[in-house]
Structure 1
Amino acid sequence: MPRFYFQLNLDEPLRYEDGQFFNSVEEARQEAVRTAREMVAASAAERQPELNKRIMLADENGNPVLAVPLCVVSRIKA
């Protein structure tokens, strides 16, 4: 089962610490979308939306796989 790593702040070089295991890239993408939605909801509740950020997903070798922009998570099918 491959391990994937998530990072929010893309202004800094990617740092990979603890990863999560998923059966596929699609399962990891779904988790990234779910996490992004939770972040948007939390920041909206605090009236400080951070929609300019995105979650970067990388594989176990540190290669970027995809990005989930917080500004579009309401339109992404999980």
Structure 2
Amino acid sequence: MNGSGPAKFEWGQRVRATADLFNDGSFPDQPTDALLVRAGDPGEIVQVGSHVETETPIYLVEFGERRVVGCLADEIAPV
């Protein structure tokens, strides 16, 4: 399976959420499907990685209150 290519965004880049982001179970202290980030919320990319099997870029974005959420490229946009 081929990934979506090279990273579209860089570490330190300011971005905004393009959609509401909900808990997929990654935040055990929050209910499943709890709203984590609202569409339009600003954040900053603090790390760029990739899914091992698909090579899909994954962006760790720090949104307000030091909440770091893993995002796909279509879930964020440059500010």
TM-score range, shorter chain: under 0.3
Q: TM-score, normalised by structure 1?
A: 0.25
More strand by share: 2
More helix by share: 1
Q: TM-score, normalised by structure 2?
A: 0.25
